[in-house]
Structure 1
Amino acid sequence: MIPAAKLTTHDLYASLVDAIDQADEVYIVAAFAQRSGVELLLPALRHAVERGADVHFLIGDYLHITDPEALAELLKLDGLSIRFYRSGGRAFHPKAYLFRNAETGLSIVGSSNISKSAFRTGVEWNLHLPQAVAPHILDEAIEAFMDLYLSEAAQDLNPIVLEAYRQEHDARQYVAEPEVDYAEQQLVMSEEILPHRVQEEALRALRETMEEGRTRALTVLATGLGKTYLSAFFARDFKRILFLAHQRELLEQAERSFKKVESNWQTAFYIGSDRTNDEQTDVLFGSVQTLSQNRHLERFAQDYFDLIIIDEFHHAAAKSYQKVLAHFEPRFLLGLTATPDRMDGADVYALCDNNVAFQMHFTSAINEGFLTPFHYYGIHDVIDYSQLRRMGRKYDAMELEQAQIDRTVSENIYAAWSKHRQTKTIGFCSSIRQAEYLAQTFREMGHQVIALTGQTINRRERIQEFEQGTVEIVFTVDLFNEGVDIPKVDTLLFCRPTESIAIYTQQIGRGLRLANEKSHCVIIDLIGNYKNVETKLMLLGTVKDKLKRGDKEPITPPKGCIIEFDTQALNIIHRMRQPNQRKLRLIESYEQLKLDLGRRPTYIEIGQLTAVPTGYKQEWSSYVGFLKEQGELTDEEIETYDANRELIEQVEKTVMNRSYKMVVLLAMLERGEGRWMEPITAEEVAPFFYEYLHAEKYREVKDAQGKVFENGYNESKIVTLLKQQPFPKMVYPFETTEDQKTLYIQKDLKTTNRILMKWITDIVHFRIESYFSS
């Protein structure tokens, strides 16, 4: 029997090992290789070589993604024939695994490069084609392989070739997105700047989202993955571009990056008195502080820009940004950030229509080899934060500072730093006084230390001293959150409670840049009984569901990373994870958002602006049920809730495999306050159902495909679909007639329709927006 061809969409590794074990000849070509993938293959390759198999490797240097250490591991294995393909900027994308013995053969061709994620966990498509199915294909594939293998572009891999590539690779890491040129001013890149693999994926996602009819998108990329260069590559598809930011340094750095991508672009600035824009300007780099002024906005037509790019998009909820966004109507709006979640409750997702086109957070970037691994040490903070007054989302600044200016506290910090530090440290403080106090403490211990704050004179010179090694540690207050980057920083010291997850994420990013002679970044973090402890720990890896006694690592870290806590810090985490703590955190989250808004949050606001929107329905069956228990409802609202509890809970909790249920509810709500709860027929829903799913390209692509929707609106087909799917799937208190033709609610309206309609409308709109954004 001829073996069948098959498609592998996950866990290619098992198939590769099995094929290597049976093959006399192995031919592997990949655009790039990571050490994680090579290490998986090495045992099977070693056995193949030992039994005399002929093994050929061809690895590419395209975009400098290949890890030099992966090549070094292959080079150690005697008996492999390895060549290195020098692409010279030409696209080089082959991924093929070819096997042959005296009796049969196999071709595996698809999407998988040599990495652990490609072999084990990633979404990959690889076609397995046995030689018996198509005998000529394997011969043609091996012939094509050898043409590349023996071409002038391929070099025999040896220590000299490897060292030359290693230097190129290390240099390339620096220019992924050099936010400030402190560390690499001497590096001049004459070659063309090309997108690396993650940027290529992001570009594809952005173009796809435009094809879906979207006009706004948010891209979340960890610091070091090249957000600015990504936006420049994307900008090539547009004629006139505005790059908007809040700092001159960010705009100047962005202009340099854009010119490297497209040297022919005419660029100009719109910052304060520096305003040189004219009709010949292709890319305008504008300060939000300047452009948000009426007299400047009025100089631009609403459609003047085809593309608007907003850097550090988590700031875009500010009124100044809102004013600019309200004025312009570009063909596309692109938001860039590493940290979209704001702790002040402001919703940046909504500014991009809840459309996150692409995201890669720093843990994923570490797994992919784009950022350096971290060794995290959670150290007990001796301050008792339960004794400090909270002012909204923060601790009272004076009480916090008074607790921090203490010899016992500073000696505890110094002891942890002395134990775990490496060569170049940034210490993050809550206040100028704390930074200066810790700097003095460390100086007394014999170290070269500076406090760098907004009041420091000649900051650039002091930073250069730090970068050059004459200063061991810098204590600062938020100066290194954005716009300044020193890749050689290898130790981060957090001397403050985490009050903003966004800022904490930015500060971690300061230490994760790749650099020569930097194997990892040490993170020394004080763990106290302050708020946000568990939330911030979730950023570092996968939180374990249960902690066993003696377990010192409550988080599974990314590849190559280490997470450890001292005993007292671990005890704090245990206490914070007790069952009753979840409800307390949800209540606190609600109270903080209520304080920020100055009123009770709506369902949409609690869903969009809190880190745990599903928690309320899980703990209280519904958000309105939570409000009732907290005494937040009026007597009229309580009556409405009690009379319609089943309906509220069902709308909030019903499973959504497709949008259909919520679209039907929208059709009911469209009839208005007086009629929305009346029975509705499939014929009445059908035109709204069709028009809603076809109103936006992304809705059509996701939920309006198949024979039912072919050839335009067909009422009988839509009615049949409604009677088969959403109508009978909507359970109590919803019911349908025996022929499934009419949907109705099994209860009479007993209380105020207006209140109930508002609640149901909010739930439906939030759920349907979340569904289409996922």
Structure 2
Amino acid sequence: MEINKENLLNAYERGFVNRDIDKVGHHPPRMIINSKEENVLSSMLDEMEVCDSFSISVAFITEGGLATLKTTLHELAKRNVKGRIITSTYLNFNKPKVFKALLGIPNIEVRVTGKEGFHAKGYVFRNRHYTSMFIGSSNLTDAALKKNYEYNLKLTSLENGAVIQHFNSQFEVLWNDSAPVDDAWVDAYAQSYVEEPMQRKVLEVIEDRSKYRYRGAEGPVIKPNAMQHEALNALDQLRQTGKDKGLVVSATGTGKTYLAAFDVQQFRPGRMLFLAHREQILDKSRNDFSNLLEGSQSDFGIFSGNQKTMDTKYLFATVQTLSREDNLKHFDPDDFDYIIVDEAHRSGADTYRRILDHFNPSFLLGMTATPERTDDVEIFSLFDYNIAYEIRLQQALEEEILAPFHYFGVTDYEKDGHMIDDTAALGRLTSSERIDHLLEKIKYYGHSGEVLRGLMFVSNREEAHAFSEALNARDYRTKALTGLNTQLERQEAVRNFENGGLDYIITVDIFNEGVDIPAINQVVMLRQTKSSIIFIQQLGRGLRKHDDKEYLTVIDFIGNYKNNYMIPIALTGDKSYNKDKLRKSLINRNAVSGVSTINFEAVAKEKIYQSINSTPVNRQSFLKEMHIYLKNKLGRMPTLLDYQKDIDVVDPFVILHKYSHYLEFLMKIKELDLNIAHSSHQLLTFLSGEIAEGKRIIETRLLRAVIQAPTGLQDFQLEMHRQGYHMTDGTMQSVLGVLTHQFHTEQDRKKYGAPLVEIIGDKIHPTHALTDALEDPLVDEQINQLLELSIENSRQYNQTVPLTINQKYSRKDACRLLEWNKDESSTMYGYKYKHGTCPIFITYHKNDMIEETIQYEDQFLDQNTLRWSTRSNRTLQSKEIRTILEAHSEGAPIHIFVKKDDDEGTDFYYLGRGRIDYDSLYETKMNDGLGRPVVMMNMVMEKTVDYELYKYLESNI
């Protein structure tokens, strides 16, 4: 976008002279420090995406740092945008593999300087309007760009600026004095390369990397990591309250086995039983326990098909073997004080039940990464609904318990305009052209470390074998493993893989869980995402830390699949099924913690966006599944507030936007069989649709007050004012208008029934409709739940003002919260001036089917300025336009509401107040063939539009 010179000067005056100046400034200088809210990487990629060329000068580059740029570089290459990088061999920090990876990026030219003490860090991105420069302390490493405490200054310059010209000239001098990097240079560097010894780390992360081993005077001493420590405290507190069962939900790779061993250490049982479903899990678990617990090796025994030790202190048994009656009868019910169930989500099976029914331990511990079952078997009751502790993927990444990952959502093979989809035949999936496409992408995105150890997930057995044959024919070493392979064959393949004899194991589902191969440095997904649970299980195969990898590469080939919407759910862990959150997560560069990143190629992103928009996430069958899961988890009927607080289930408003109220939902899914009075149905419909979201909490506070006793009007108004809520005489009248239904349209009044309050004298009373409804205990409970939900949800709104910036509102909400006495949303259209306010509603990307005469060119010029057009057939002399202009000049506020497109429904993001730039007013004619007049003007935003939201609105998806 063309940059305004005056506004740029204003921004620099505010940035370097006086931060309090009242001038509109664009592209201000900014100090960027990595935090949860922002980081250098996201700001840099934003500029990189729109550049026409770039120059980077950095001393150090890592594979992970380069990986964070690869998707954007791929998109730039499609636009023929090229860049140059100057780096060094200082301290031999840059590995030969990094230079090989740089050579594999077609739109980058690289040179190496021999300048002594070279330690520069500068990133410059040019487009035809301006140049952005990042100068500071960040090298091209994923830690420096996203996690480390770094100082980086972002500056924006016009091309003739002295600073940028100085940088350009210095870069050219250095470039001309540097050696070009080509294959011959890399080969020579690799032959002479000797890795400099790094400073020895005090903390050494070992084995499954979920625990810490400190080097003590007498050898290694294993200690719990931070999250294990919290879980151990939680288990101890659970037992202190008299509980004898507990469930720990722990993300894959976070050290469930060692956590169990630590708890056994603090519990000190006479005997312990560890249950697993595979013998190879027993071997590793026994070794882990023996590393931690005191005792000789003879204290740790295996009870399985191959060996049947029975009298050891710590017994590790396969469920299949122990559950047989002829084996189980040899054990007394009181033999074990402490029983551990590994992969506890399986414990609903008959084999597990048989064992758990037989024994009577003092404490039963269940461990699982995925308590959400897809086979309608619930496990929570087995552990008395005691969830002792939960370790989530995002938390584990933040605590650096897991290896970081760089996820690449890439575009699957497309031919003649048709992409791989749900119905693709095997021949098309394994065609030579598609194999070439896949290998090109896999090679481009690469892997961490010198040796490739990849795991591929495909859709079916035939595909696995076909892929293996095709890759082997191209000199890859692969092995297909399916459910038809024996346990021995699987173990042999894993050993061969770990020893470097295989590049890939290609599998169908059997490696989703129960397999521990920390060396995996690349996971390739060649199947549609049918379940977010399975997605995370498969991602988790590579998240264990290993000395030979810095991070995990995840390459997900995204075709034209209807379930693509599950990908952002799986990656972010947000299972609310809130479509707004899912859409925004596609462009949120901070969706995962630590140095991990999520990257989508443009076409792949578009496919996910289409899936989000087209998928009905409020299907009754799906909502019923969510309900049953939460009911099983809680051990009782869930309330709406339970939905609000549990991150594993759908947002309660997904239910309330589909059904009139929660009781109706429960009746529809046959959880309740009841008849409630029609008046109660209407009252619950009103509370669910108008009050529960808590956009203005005063209605809720008033209802709670009058349910207790008649409330003085003035007393209530003063109390709300005292508590800091937005409250004027107009607010009070608006609240009463809503609760007496005078605000609502005739159609809504019929739907909502009788008013809830009435004014008698100077007091507000509940109506008979409300008091009668409260007589029904079930309805009374629902009313209380809706009011509690309203209070809980109101916390995301700033209640000191009528409207909260960045929150979503409908036209009807705007009428209510701007204190209009009637709902005039049906006649508001794009904007309406009324009662001293003018809300403007903008659909940013209008549907192609919309009539030409209303497709106006509303557009953000930048985060501070919106170019806005009026309705057609309006001139500067039109009464409607003159009224708005004159009223605004006298202080009448203009409120700006925007949504990306009509697929977002009826709600708009509130971006704050806009101020008309009267100098920008002009009258023009629409390009509609009729030459209809229209008035254009710039709105200067009172508050700079939130960058993530601005980027979302401006994005092409």
CA distance in 1, matches of 2:371, 2:473: 40
CA distance in 1, matches of 2:586, 2:572: 16
Matched to 1:589, the amino acid is F
Which residue of structure 1 lines up, in the alignment, with residue 242 of structure 2?
213
Separation (CA, whole Å) in 2 of partners of 1:616 and 1:444: 52
Asked if residue 568 in structure 1 is aligned to residue 599 in structure 2, the reply is no
- 2:302 counterpart of 1:269: yes
Is 1:352 paired with 2:383?
yes
Distance, in Å, in 2 between the alignment partners of 1:297 and 1:605 is 41
Q: CA–CA distance in 2 between the matches of 1:635 and 1:198?
A: 40
8 Å CA contact 2:464–2:506 kept in 1: the answer is yes
Could you tell me whether the CA contact under 8 Å between 2:661 and 2:688 is conserved in 1? no
- Higher mean C-alpha deviation, range 494-503 or range 529-538: 529-538
Contact 1:552 1:566 in 2 (8 A): no
Q: 1:467 aligned to 2:502? A: no
2:440 alignment partner AA: A
Q: How does 1:520-599 map to 2 (within 5 A)?
A: 520-530=551-561, 532-541=563-572, 545=580, 552=587, 556-578=591-613, 581=615, 583-590=616-623
2 CA distance for matches of 1:117 and 1:357?
A: 31
Question: Residue 523 of structure 2 contacts residue 553 of structure 2 at CA under 8 Å; is this kept in 1?
Answer: yes
2:636 paired with 1:611: no
Distance 1:313 1:563, change over 3 A: same
Q: Residue 509 of structure 1 corresponds to which residue in structure 2? A: 540
Q: Which amino acid aligns with 2:592?
A: P
Residue in 2 that maps onto 1:250: 281
- Matched residues in 2 for 1:220 and 1:466: separation? 30
Code of the residue aligned with 2:568 in structure 1: it is: L
Tell me which residue corresponds to 2:772. 747
CA apart distance, 1:376: 0.8
Task: Measure how far apart 1:432 and its partner are.
Answer: 1.7
Q: Is the 8 A contact 2:773 2:779 kept in 1?
A: no
- Judge which range, 209-218 or 424-433, deviates more: 209-218
- Alpha-carbon RMSD across the aligned residues, in angstroms, is 5.3
**By how many angstroms is 1:311 displaced?**
0.5
Q: 2:564·2:607 contact (CA, 8 Å) conserved in 1?
A: no
1:426 aligns to what? Answer: 455
Partner of 1:283: 314
**2:413 paired with 1:413:** no
Following TM superposition, by how much is the alpha carbon of 1:535 offset from its aligned partner in structure 2, in angstroms? 3.5
Residue matched to 1:228: 257
Matches within 5 A, 1:323-402: 323-381=354-412, 388=422
What TM-score does the superposition give when structure 2 sets the normalisation length?
0.45
Contact residue 412 and residue 419 of structure 2 kept, 8 A: no
Residue pair 1:342, 1:501 contacting (<8 A) in 2 also: no
Match of residue 344 from structure 2: 313
CA distances 1:142-192 after superposition (whole Å, capped 9, x unpaired): xxxxxxxxxxxxxxxxx99964446x715x3556479xxxxxxxxxx9634
Superposed displacement of residue 315, structure 1: 1.4
Residues in 1 aligned to 2:685 and 2:433: alpha-carbon distance in whole angstroms: 53
SS of residue paired to 1:218: strand
Aligned to 1:195: 224
- 1:542–1:556 CA contact under 8 A, matched in 2: no
Please give the secondary structure, in 2, of the residue aligned with 1:626: helix
User: How many angstroms apart in 2 are the aligned matches of 1:634 and 1:466?
Assistant: 50
* CA 1:639–1:214: 2 relative to 1, 3 Å: same
Q: Contact 2:453–2:522 (CA<8 Å) still a contact in 1?
A: yes
CA distance in 1: counterparts of 2:693 and 2:388, whole angstroms: 24
Deviation at 1:434, TM superposition (A): 0.8
Alpha-carbon distance between aligned partners in 1 of 2:569 and 2:247, rounded to the nearest angstrom: 22
Letter in 1 for 2:441: A
Quote how far apart the aligned CAs of 1:602 are: 10
Structure 1 residue 308: deviation in Å? Answer: 1.6
Secondary structure, aligned partner of 1:257: helix
Alpha carbons of 1:193 and 1:613: their partners in 2 closer, same or farther (altered >3 Å)?
A: same
Distance across 1 between alignment mates of 2:412 and 2:674: 45
For residues 722-770 of structure 1, the C-alpha deviation after alignment (integer angstroms, 9 at most, x for no partner) is xxxxxxxxxx999xxx9xxxxx9833799xx99x699989x99xx9xxx
1:556 aligns to what SS in structure 2?
A: coil
Structure 1 CA distance for aligned equivalents of residues 780 and 314 of structure 2: 44
Change (3 A) 1:208 1:633: closer
8 Å contact from structure 2 (residues 260, 340) kept in 1: yes
SS at match of 1:574: helix
Q: Is the 8 A contact 1:586 1:612 kept in 2?
A: no
Contact 1:498 1:531 in 2 (8 A): no
Give the drift of 1:427.
0.5
Query: How far off is 1:633 after superposition?
Result: 6.5
**Kindly, what percent of the aligned residue pairs are identical?**
28
Q: Supply the distance in 2 between the matched residues of 1:551 and 1:341 (Cα, whole angstroms).
A: 25
Q: Deviations over 1:227-273 (max 9, x none)?
A: 11111111121422221111111122212222221241723333347
Q: Distance in 2 between matches of 1:349 and 1:641?
A: 37
1:204 and 2:233 are equivalent in the alignment:
yes
Deviations 1:658-693 (A, max 9, x none): xxxxxxxxxxxxxxxxxxxxx99xxxxxxxxxxxxx
**Matches of 2:541 and 2:672, distance apart in 1:** 52
Q: Does 638-647 or 479-488 show the bigger shift?
A: 638-647
CA distance in 2, matches of 1:483, 1:503: 13
* Inter-partner Cα distance in structure 2 for 1:402 and 1:611: 39
Letter in 1 for 2:303: Y
Q: Which residue of 2 is the match for residue 622 of structure 1?
A: 661
Report the Cα distance in structure 1 between the residues aligned to 2:326 and 2:200, rounded to whole angstroms. Answer: 55
Where in structure 2 are the equivalents of 1:30-69 lying within 5 Å? Answer: none
Alignment-derived partner of residue 449 in structure 1? 478
Distance 1:251 1:574, change over 3 A: same
Cα distance 1:617–1:403, how it changes in 2: closer, same or farther (>3 A)?
A: farther
On the 8 A contact 2:627/2:638 being kept in 1, the answer is no
* Inter-partner Cα distance in structure 2 for 1:404 and 1:644: 53
> Letter of the aligned partner of 2:650 in structure 1?
V
3-state SS, counterpart of residue 478 of structure 1: coil
User: Quick one: which of 169, 193, 197 aligns to 2:204?
Assistant: 169
**3-state SS of 1:539 partner:** helix
Amino acid at match of 1:626: F
Contact kept? 2:530, 2:566, Cα under 8 Å: no
User: Which blocks of at least 5 consecutive residues in structure 1 are unaligned?
Assistant: 1-34, 41-72, 74-115, 121-158, 179-188, 390-398, 657-678, 681-731, 739-743, 768-774
**C-alpha distance in structure 2 between counterparts of 1:539 and 1:403, whole Å:** 27
- Tell me if structure 2 keeps the 8 A contact 1:339–1:505: no
Shift of the 633–458 alpha-carbon distance from structure 1 to 2, 3 Å rule, reads closer
Measured in 2, the distance between the counterparts of 1:502 and 1:327 equals: 31
SS in 1 for 2:403: coil
Residue 515 of structure 1 aligns to a residue whose secondary structure is: coil
Residue identity matched to 1:562: T
Contact conserved, 2:773 with 2:780, CA < 8 A, in 1?
no
Aligned pair in 2 of structure 1 residues 434, 169: CA closer, same or farther (>3 Å)? same
Distance 2:354 2:550 in 1: 45
Letter in 2 for 1:453: T
Distance 2:583 2:639 in 1: 37
Structure 2: distance between partners of 1:592 and 1:381 = 31
Equivalent in the alignment of 1:476: 507
Post-superposition CA distance 1:537-572 (Å, at most 9, x none): 233237795699997557623221221111221112
